[in-house]
Structure 1
Amino acid sequence: MKYIALLRGINVGGNRKVEMKKLRTLFESLGYTEVSTYINSGNIIFESEDDTKTVLTKITKSFEKIFDFEIPTLVKTEKEMKKIANAIPEGWQNDATQKTDVAYLFPEADSKKIIEELPLKKEFLEIRYMKGAIIWNIKRENLNKSQLTKLISHKLYKGMTIRNVNTARFLAGEKE
């Protein structure tokens, strides 16, 4: 089965550095095949015969042995990633006028209620929940008005890992 591992909070602002080559080697040492990484923000695509829970356990335990910091990790099947990517309206893009992101949700944050709990001014953006993710689109001119930048200081922020729409579509198997 094809999986995508989404690592949260690595290689951001020069902190918690993890080399993609090291990740590929680590995943191959766990017996995973067709291992590749996408950009430097912790996206690993690979294949395994193991079920999702076993894959996550193996990855988490290996990270604990190798890195001196925690790496929260989500493991999604290709099918789950496609379902999320397919929920993004085609017109939602990242360009000069708009910004679209996908926040993949860890189990503790995965609830329809999450949208109500986030400190966002929803009149300035479109936001949608689906199992496993929330997706938003905002006109760039409304970015500050929406208070989207305040998201990183909210308690629920630790329960998500965010990718831009281009990355989300690529990881789901759609080519850019």
Structure 2
Amino acid sequence: MKYLLLLRGINVGGKNKVVMSELRAQIEALGYEAVTTYINSGNAFFETEEPLERIKTKIGDMLATYPFTIYHVILSRDAYLADAAQVPDWWQEPLARRDVLFYTDQVDYEDMKARIQAMPLHDEVVYFGDRAVFWGKYTESEYLKTSYHKYLLKEDFYPQITIRNGKTFDKLRDLLG
């Protein structure tokens, strides 16, 4: 089965450096096959027949060897594509910004959902998928007024989500397809 590993907060502004070629080698050393990465922001694909819980343990132990915490998400191809297939029609509209917030196992989903639902949306739309929150912003000029910009960064759960823009989300979907 094919899997996608998403890392949070790496290679941003010269901090939390993870070299993709080294990451590929580390994943291969765990016994996983067909290991590839996409761009430098921590998107890795691999194949294995191991159960997901075993994969999570092995990847978690590997990432714990870094001198900084790396929150991460591991999704099966089927889980990712299922979320992608369920996005609302507005996701395909010409939005100014589209972001996908993947939540790690450390996030309390119900609490996160309630907090986001309590935010006053301004020129934006939100959809809760099975493993991610899809957030669209209609106009660039209104971005600074959105809850995404004004409130999300202040949330306790923010460090435990990893965000991909809509273009990257779509590309990852295509690569998994």
Bin the TM-score by the shorter chain.
0.7 to 0.9
Gaps of 5+ in 1: none
Q: Matched residues in 1 for 2:64 and 2:104: separation?
A: 19
CA offsets, 1:71-107, max 9 Å, x none? Answer: 1121100011111222334653697x51111101123
Q: Matched residues in 1 for 2:41 and 2:28: separation?
A: 19
Q: What letter corresponds to residue 130 of structure 1 in structure 2? A: G
2:99–2:164: 8 Å Cα contact kept in structure 1?
A: yes
**RMSD (Å), alpha carbons:** 2.2
Normalised by the size of structure 2, how large is the TM-score?
0.87
Normalised by the size of structure 1, how large is the TM-score?
0.87
Per the alignment, residue 85 of structure 1 pairs with 84
List structure 1 runs of 4+ shifted beyond 3 angstroms: none
Q: Matched residues in 2 for 1:35 and 1:94: separation?
A: 33
Aligned length: 173
Q: Matched residues in 1 for 2:40 and 2:56: separation?
A: 20
| Change in CA separation of 1:10 and 1:94 when aligned onto 2, cut-off 3 Å | farther
Q: Matched residues in 2 for 1:86 and 1:77: separation?
A: 14
Mapping for residues 54-133 of structure 1, pairs under 5 Å: 54-65=54-65, 67-89=66-88, 92=91, 98-109=96-107, 111-118=109-116, 120-133=119-132
Identity %: 32
For 1:41, what is the secondary structure of its paired residue?
Answer: coil
Gaps of 5+ in 2: none
Per the alignment, residue 17 of structure 1 pairs with 17
